[in-house]
């Protein structure tokens, strides 16, 4: 399924529109997916540390990924929960 998402990104031209930081943030979120639930809930700090992208930039890239439909974000208590 992940291959389909990446192929879609390439085929529809979104890959060219996404920054390297967006891709890094997406990959870190994807790496933290719980295979049973399909949800991912790494902290913003964790995404920042694992991707090498500043916390402020992670927040901006999450907005981009949400607007493009690659990530949805919900809250579970104080934590963000992402779905790809």
Residue with tokens 């974000």: 73
Confidence of residue 28 (pLDDT cuts 50, 70, 90): very high
Provide the CATH topology of domain 2-83.
Arc Repressor Mutant, subunit A (1.10.10)
Domain ranges of the chain: 2-83
DSSP 8-class letter at 42: -
pLDDT of residue 19: 94
pLDDT band for 82, please (50, 70, 90 cuts). Answer: very high
Within a 10 A sphere around the Cβ of 29, how many other Cβ atoms? 26
**Alpha carbons within 13 A on the beta-carbon side of 2:** 9
Q: Which residues pair with 81 in a beta bridge?
A: 74
The pLDDT of residue 5 is: 80
Cβ 41 vs Cβ 79: under 8 Å: yes
Q: What are the beta bridge partners of residue 40?
A: 33, 82
């Amino acid at each position: 399924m992940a291959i389909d998402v990446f192929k879609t990104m390439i085929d529809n031209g979104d890959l060219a529109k996404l920054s390297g930081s967006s891709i890094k943030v997406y990959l870190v979120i994807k790496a933290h997916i719980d295979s049973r639930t399909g949800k991912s809930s790494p902290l913003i700090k964790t995404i920042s540390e694992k991707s090498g992208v500043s916390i402020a930039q992670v927040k901006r890239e999450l907005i981009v990924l949400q607007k493009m439909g690659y990530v949805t974000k919900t809250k579970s208590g104080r934590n963000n929960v992402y779905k790809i």
